[in-house]
Amino acid sequence: MADNHGNTPAAWTAVAIALAAFVVGGVGLMAGSMVTFWVGVALAPVAILVGYVMARMGYHSSH
């Protein structure tokens, strides 16, 4: 495992997108807008994909 404990640009970006997805989905659910809810649901896999791509590009280490 890495010594950075996930404190890298790839991890921060993935978490920020996942948080945005959760907020958008939650707002859509509370507002009764299923379109907004599903936009939030669709953003969740994007967070995983962006985190993986950024890690492969070398943004997974803090050095």
DSSP string, 4-61: TTT-SHHHHHHHHHHHHHHHHHHHHHHHT-HHHHHHHHHHHHHHHHHHHHHIIIIIT-
Which pLDDT tens digit goes with each residue over 15-42?
999 999 999 999 999 999 999 999 999 9
Q: How many CA atoms lie within 13 A of 62 on its CB side?
A: 9
- Model pTM greater than 0.75? yes
Which pLDDT tens digit goes with each residue over 45-55?
999 999 999 99
